[in-house]
Amino acid sequence: MSRTLFDLTGRRALVTGSSQGIGLALARGLQDAGAEVVLNGRDLSKLEQAGETLGSDVRLLPFDVTDHAAVRQAIDGFEEATGPIDILVNNAGMQHRAPLEDFPAEAFERLLGTNVSSVFNTGQAVARHMISRGRGKIINIASVQTALARPSIAPYTATKGAVGNLTKGMATDWAKYGLNCNAIAPGYFETPLNAALVADPEFSGWLAKRTPAGRWGKVEELVGACIFLASDAASFVNGHVLYVDGGITASL
């Protein structure tokens, strides 16, 4: 019984921004749990390379998550041609670092579009189909910055705070239709997005002291949380932000 709670066989999962890093790791984990995986990104060649690492049963759905009309067209077309999306992982995101007093306005707008609008665009497009079926799982990728701030990333912190609250809003509006809407908030993980920080001995030393676990996270360590929230085991979990951060938000 306990094993079947986490079995995703027969379900289809769309993971945005899944050509590398956390998105690809989560896609691989969902596939290992039995789900059929749909990879998304803007760069088809990168998606094809990622798809090759997961095998021939992976589907590719390239679209720009920041373009509301394009997202709606892609999702509606996929549902009509292929079938239901049972699980959505809103993973697409970006980072830009600069002192707040010098932060470029155009970079702020890009962060809003990629980190917040994408969650709204894709979440709404998929949820409309999930609502008609009376079931569905939406998992938004938030961040330790949903709760904490650091110098030079104030706008990123604002966007991830928005993802956390948008997740609560999704649950508030859509739980009555049978949807489970939750978020995973990763701490500091070794990803392409954090490559410069990983390579910085000073920052890595600070992080080891600041994090109770004493190290960077591995992307594979996010998979269990994703499978849980995507599965029947989380049938009464809604509007929750699950921190997977080695204890950094629990400790001063």
CATH value at residue 14: 3.40.50.720
Quick one: pLDDT at residue 135? 98
Is residue 200 situated within a structural domain?
yes
Q: How many domains does the chain have?
A: 1
Is residue 106 situated within a structural domain?
yes
Is residue 252 situated within a structural domain?
no
H helix intervals, the chain = 21-32, 44-54, 68-81, 105-111, 118-133, 154-174, 195-198, 201-210, 223-230
Strand partners, 180: 137
Is residue 251 situated within a structural domain?
no
Q: What is the DSSP letter of 36?
A: E
Reduced to 3 states (helix: H, G, I; strand: E, B; else coil), residue 17 is coil
Q: How far is CA 90 from the centre of its chain?
A: 4
What DSSP string describes 37-60?
A: EEE--S-HHHHHHHHHHH-TT-EE
Catalytic site residue 243? no
- Cα–Cα distance, 65 to 117 (Å, whole number): 8
Task: Please report, in tens digits, the pLDDT of each residue of the chain (252 residues total).
Answer: 567 999 999 999 999 999 999 999 999 999 999 999 999 999 999 999 999 999 888 999 999 999 999 999 999 999 999 999 999 999 999 999 999 999 999 999 999 999 999 999 999 999 999 999 999 999 999 999 999 999 999 999 999 999 999 999 999 999 999 999 999 999 999 988 788 899 999 999 999 999 999 999 999 999 999 999 999 999 999 999 999 999 999 998
Quick one: pLDDT at residue 194? 86
CB 35, CB 15: distance < 8 Å: no
Is residue 249 situated within a structural domain?
no
C-alpha pair distances (Å), 68 with each of 118, 125, 151, 231: 8, 9, 31, 28
Is residue 196 situated within a structural domain?
yes
Residues with Cβ within 8 Å of 168's Cβ and at least 6 positions away in sequence, in order, are: 239
Q: Please return the burial class of 164, using the count of CB atoms within 10 Å of its CB with bins 0-12, 13-18 and 19+.
A: buried
- Cα–Cα distance, 65 to 115 (Å, whole number): 9
Quick one: pLDDT at residue 192? 83
Residues with Cβ within 8 Å of 238's Cβ and at least 6 positions away in sequence, in order, are: 171, 175, 180, 181, 182
Give residue 41's domain range: 4-244
Is residue 250 situated within a structural domain?
no
Reduced to 3 states (helix: H, G, I; strand: E, B; else coil), residue 251 is coil
Q: Which residue has the tokens 């705070």?
A: 161
Q: Which residue has the tokens 């803007």?
A: 42
Residue of 156, 177, 188, 243 with catalytic role? 156
Is residue 36 situated within a structural domain?
yes
Q: What is the pTM of this model?
A: 0.97
